Amino acid sequence: MNMGQTFVMFFLVVVLATSSLSNSNVLASRGVEATPSQVHICYKPCNKTYGVDQCYDDCLSKEYDDGNCEYNGLCCCT
């Protein structure tokens, strides 16, 4: 091996050793948890007879803050 290849090999070994010895808890921290108002529960298909108003009322009766017919065609409560 010439000097350049040796330097590159040494550099890669140092980087690999450093990354494997670093504290992995920093990368895997808990972060932000979802609150109940951020959870979307989609359960019933919206159609001509079951629309936005019925979806909204059902979600409120289930103690969610809001409900709407979403792009996926389902009533989603948040």
In the chain, what are the domain boundaries? Answer: 35-78
Q: What is the DSSP letter of 28?
A: T
Alpha carbon distance 70, 22 (integer Å)? 43
The model scores a pTM over 0.75: no
pLDDT for 15-37, tens place per residue? 666 665 555 544 554 555 555 55
Q: Count other C-beta atoms under 10 Å from residue 46's C-beta.
A: 19
Residue 48 confidence class, pLDDT cut points 50, 70, 90: very high
Sheet holding 41-45, edge to edge: 41-45, 74-77, 67-69
The better pLDDT of the pair 35, 42 is held by 42
Is CATH 3.30.30 the right assignment for the domain spanning 35-78? Answer: yes
Q: What percent of the chain has pLDDT over 70?
A: 59
Q: Count other C-beta atoms under 10 Å from residue 44's C-beta.
A: 17
